[in-house]
Structure 1
Amino acid sequence: MNPRLLVPHVFGRPVPLPLVGWLALVWVALWGEVSLGNVLGGLVAGLVVTWALPLPVLDPGIRIRPVALARLLAAFGWDLVASTARVVVWVVRPGPPPAEIVRVRLRTSSESMTVLIMIALSAVPGTLVVEAYAAERELVLHVLGLSGDVAGIVRTDVAGMEARIVAAFGTARDREELP
């Protein structure tokens, strides 16, 4: 479909029709009754709002690469299974599990990639992002159930996850940042 059909210009300003439709739907929902007047009122309100208050074009900085995404999902699934098993073992054992706070430096400067990394790390049982320092590109993680060289293991795991996330979703600039 031609994208120009979805965003026609009215008096020189773009009016995105999908957004107008969404605003009309919200309008009808707020009035609580589906009637011709409410639908037309919603469409007019949506047209006026999108024309008078145009949204800036935003690039979230995310691209999707299916093969890299499949690798990421496979590795993430394995991390979920292994981490869940590790946490379960420590829950059924007597005594407190080993817990560490580890500071990890990220190689990417992209905010969107950092957010995806933080979400993935927090979704894995036994790992929690405690703090994020954007200026230093560092995350502070609470890690449960690992013993030995915890900092080294965690840094290696995070670097691998970071590489997989950037490969699956990053822009060319994001991929260039990783050695």
Structure 2
Amino acid sequence: MTAFLWNLMLALLWAAMLGNVTSENLLTGFVIGFALLALIDTQHGPSRYGTQAWNVVRLVAGVGWDVLVANVRVAYEIATPKLHTRPAIYRYDMEARTDAEITLLTLIVTFAPGTLALEVSEDRKAIYVHVMFATTREAFCQELRERVEIPLLRALR
């Protein structure tokens, strides 16, 4: 059974022991179960559950911050009379290989205002991205790799 299912079972057990199944008790039980499962050593070494969960939290927080910054930048562009856009289309060579990794990467890129994943190359090693505020291709690729792809792959692998 996966650690997540164990965590859900521990949360339900916690709420049942308290005799009151409320969202607060379930959340408390989930947090306590998470802490226990993250600290437990398995037969094959330390549990990866805590590390994976932390990587997911970091990915969500990073993407959330990037979306907020992109929204402010696009809103400023719309609200001011002078255009500051420098649109471009860049080829980004991915480290992502599985369908899930490629799909999530393109969705995250498209989710942020000012960027749009246009196409995945036929060899599935690159995506073409339209950007509203172009820098150099190298700077864009480095930022996308560091801010999105590496955290995504850490969360999925």
Which TM-score applies when normalising by structure 1?
0.54
> What letter matches 1:76 in structure 2?
V
| C-alpha separation in 1, matches of 2:102 and 2:118 | 14
| C-alpha separation in 1, matches of 2:80 and 2:90 | 23
Q: CA offsets, 1:96-130, max 9 Å, x none?
A: 42211111000122221011100111101100011
The question of whether the paired residues in 1 share the 8 Å contact of 2:118 and 2:130 is answered with yes
The question of whether the paired residues in 1 share the 8 Å contact of 2:97 and 2:124 is answered with no
Pairwise CA distance, 1:92: 1.9
Higher helix share: 2
RMSD between superposed Cα atoms in Å: 2.1
> Does 2:117 correspond to 1:121?
no
> Over alpha carbons, which structure has the higher Rg?
1
Q: CA offsets, 1:34-76, max 9 Å, x none?
A: xxxxxxxxxxxxxxxxxxxxxxxxxxxxx99200001101111
Instruction: Give the structure 2 partner of residue 98 of structure 1.
Output: 86
Which sections of structure 2, spanning at least 5 residues, go unmatched? 2-48
Which sections of structure 1, spanning at least 5 residues, go unmatched? 2-62, 171-179
> Does 2:52 correspond to 1:65?
yes
SS in 2 for 1:65: helix
| C-alpha separation in 2, matches of 1:65 and 1:134 | 31
Pairwise CA distance, 1:165: 0.6
| C-alpha separation in 2, matches of 1:74 and 1:67 | 10
Pairwise CA distance, 1:93: 2.6
| C-alpha separation in 2, matches of 1:158 and 1:152 | 10
Which TM-score applies when normalising by structure 2?
0.61
Aligned residue among 154, 158, 161 for 2:140? 154
Identity of aligned residues (%): 21
Give the number of aligned pairs. Answer: 107
